[in-house]
Amino acid sequence: MTIPITRKIIFYLLLIISSMLVFSPTLMAFVMSFMTNQDIMTGSLPSSLTLDNYVKAFNQFPLLKYLFNSLVVSIVIMLGQLILSSLAAYAFVFLEFKGRDLLFYVFIATMMVPFEASIIPNFHIIRDLGWIDTYPGLTVPFFAMAFGTFLLRQNFKQIPKELREASQIAGMGDFKFYLTVVLPVARTSLVTLGVYGFLTSWNMYLWPLLSTTNDSVRTVQIGLKQLQTQEQLNDWGVIMAGAIIVVIPTLILLFLGQSKLQKGLTEGALK
């Protein structure tokens, strides 16, 4: 498609302005993480750039420990979601049982209940199981995921049912079909869901705050909050340095998975 040059210029101008608007907080955080406290407080441009804030962030708090916890929690949640969602989606697509569609709609309806609404019962269960301050307590409540099941179901539905029938005739059971055909064919959607699950759990705040009481399993988002103090003046440089460190894995994942993520989320939207 060809666009007249003047209109092109206007488009790009608007795009640049809006991207600046959207990106400016991140950019500010990035710059501030290299600035001295003095510069930040006076609101001037940086007079000198320094890595002190990063050194401080690592020394002052067990940031590495937090990062490790976050990584473990996110990966476990991601895997748990992938396994449960794909198994559930398989049942909703390939197994025939009475009330299957009704069950599916009820299942989907739970998407409308926000996690915050179920947070108190969840907390009770975790507490009674003695899972406070443990990895299972942080991860297990997120394994069952209506959205993931929905996404994968739509994807599995595009697999022709003749493939299932052909493998039935060849003498292949459900589980083997799931492993050797369904999962490889739905690879893109699985990656999408994995990235999505990972990022969501990486950025989780409320639940880790509730279900942890000490640093042993606390995630990085809570750690970040601890960088802020209530009594003293905030050390913004350190906080920003911490924030940048926390954002990095997210960005890496986004850059790597961007094309796949888009493809996967919009898959089935057309057609």
Residues found near other proteins in the complex (CB under 8 A): 160, 162-163, 165-172, 176, 181, 184-185, 187
Burial of 87 per CB tally in 10 Å (0-12, 13-18, 19+) = middle
Q: Round to whole Å and give the CA distance between 64 and 53.
A: 15
* Nearer residue to other proteins within complex by CB, 114 or 160: 160
Nearer to other proteins, 75 or 183 (CB): 183
Closer Cβ to other proteins, 108 or 181, answer by number: 181
Smallest distance, Å, CB 215 to other proteins? 45
What is the C-alpha to C-alpha distance for residues 74 and 200, in angstroms, rounded to an integer? 8
Shortest spacing between CB 173 and other proteins, in angstroms: 9
The smaller minimum CB distance to other proteins, of residues 65 and 164, is found at 164
Give the nearest distance from C-beta 178 to other proteins in angstroms: 13
Tell me how far apart the 2 most distant CA atoms of the chain are, in Å: 76
Complete DSSP assignment for 226-262: HHS-SSS---HHHHHHHHHHHHHHHHHHHHHHHHHHH
Q: Shortest Cβ distance from residue 189 to other proteins (Å)? A: 13
Residue 68 neighbours by CB distance under 10 Å: 14
